Amino acid sequence: MTAVMIIAGAMLVAAALLTTYRLLAGPGSLDRLVAMDTLVATAICGLSVWAAYSGDTTIVPAIVALALVGFVGSVSVARFRVSDDS
């Protein structure tokens, strides 16, 4: 079971690195918004893998809070976004 957790962690780190590149290099604000959503989802997955590995359930409220903050942030940025065309 430990090998599965290590592989999952390595894949999540790779996903976070690729997403960080897209966040920094994204040509438009929507690309950056999608990258930020993906980074928050990757963080949620990382916390979930850690909770499964350690057996600690006290981190679950933090996972739920991070999901809510990510959703509200995405909706508010998408709602009040100014067009990239100038």
Q: Which amino acid is at 27?
A: P
- Of the candidates 62, 25, 23, 27, the one whose C-alpha atom is nearest the C-alpha of residue 46 is 62
User: How does pLDDT run along the chain (86 residues), one tens digit per residue?
Assistant: 789 999 999 999 999 999 999 999 878 878 888 899 999 999 999 999 999 999 989 999 999 999 999 899 888 887 777 676 65
CA distances (Å), 17 to each of 3, 41, 43, 46, 57, in order?
A: 21, 13, 12, 13, 27
- Of the candidates 47, 68, 69, the one whose C-alpha atom is nearest the C-alpha of residue 58 is 47
Burial letters 57-66, b for 16+ CB under 10 A, else e: eeeeeebeee
